Amino acid sequence: MVSRMQDPEYLRSVHYRDSSRLNARIELWKRYSKGQGPGVADWTFKPGSVAENADVLEVGSGTGRFWSDNIDRIPAGWDVTLSDVSPGMVEEAREGLVDAGRVFSFEVLDASSVPFEDDSFDLVIASYMLYHVPDVDSALVEISRVLRSGGVLIASTNSEQHIAEIREIQTRFGPGGSAADSVNRLNSFSMETGEAQLRKRFGDVATFNDSEVLAVDDAEILVSYVLSLDGEFDESAVRNHVENQIAKTGAFSVTRSTGFFVATKLQ
């Protein structure tokens, strides 16, 4: 069964109507992650990875943070389009980049039905979003179709171990079955399952893993993270649990286990 976190209508009108939930989660990584492996930005902006005059599309671009975080690294010749199924997210991305000093294009679109001609792009980025698409393969077919021969898809996702400790909180203090629902959804395109999916539609696939354990000593940042997940949580029980753990050991451990694939369209 498709979960509501894979229902484009629910995502655009409720969960990702604006960036508040997404930002609560990003805050944890910003504060505590040291990023062990090469990241998407390192690969994308490494000289030679992508042509100097590339046409670039990001699907599920959220607040557009990839572009605002890397504004000085974007080659002058790139023509970049940001897109998302949520009009609210697209608007926030547009507002966030309005003073960036370069021109971006914006589109509201569903990754399963991309309104561009065949062979339109040299690079497509899909970060932490393919597991929200009800039929992942339909999005991969669309992305491959709009890529030119030799073009690449960079797709980031999480591994099954990612935030295992937060899943435990979800199980104890959240809606019944929500942790299992999240893992099932992730399995539709995770670091473990993504490569096989990509190999069906792309000629070459490279995998980059990135894992670390964070020692989180700020209870509130974790409480906000948990409350940003889908469904109702017992907030005071979550707060007590996290505060007790931090008081006992000095920190609450959170596993961050993510990565990305670089899939090349060979013909």
Which residues would be at the binding site for ligand SAM (CB under 6 A)? 8, 11, 16, 22, 59-62, 65, 84-86, 89, 110-112, 127-129, 132-133
Residue 111 or 166 having the CB closest to ligand SAM:
111
Task: Specify the pairing of strand 252-264 against strand 204-216.
Answer: antiparallel
Residue 8 or 175 having the CB closest to ligand SAM:
8
Number of alpha carbons in the 13 Å side-chain half-sphere of residue 135: 7
What is the closest distance, in whole angstroms, from the C-beta atom of residue 133 to ligand SAM in the complex?
Answer: 4
What is the closest distance, in whole angstroms, from the C-beta atom of residue 127 to ligand SAM in the complex?
Answer: 4
- Check residue 14 and report its DSSP letter: I
∠ Cα 29 12 57 (to 5°): 70
Residue 209 or 249 having the CB closest to ligand SAM:
209
Residue 96 or 203 having the CB closest to ligand SAM:
96
Residue 203 or 231 having the CB closest to ligand SAM:
231
What is the closest distance, in whole angstroms, from the C-beta atom of residue 250 to ligand SAM in the complex?
Answer: 30
∠ Cα 73 264 29 (to 5°): 50
What DSSP element (H or E) covers 92?
A: helix 87-97
What is the closest distance, in whole angstroms, from the C-beta atom of residue 18 to ligand SAM in the complex?
Answer: 10
What is the closest distance, in whole angstroms, from the C-beta atom of residue 116 to ligand SAM in the complex?
Answer: 13
Bridge partner residues of 58 (DSSP)? 82, 125
Sign (positive or negative) of CA dihedral 113, 119, 120, 121: positive
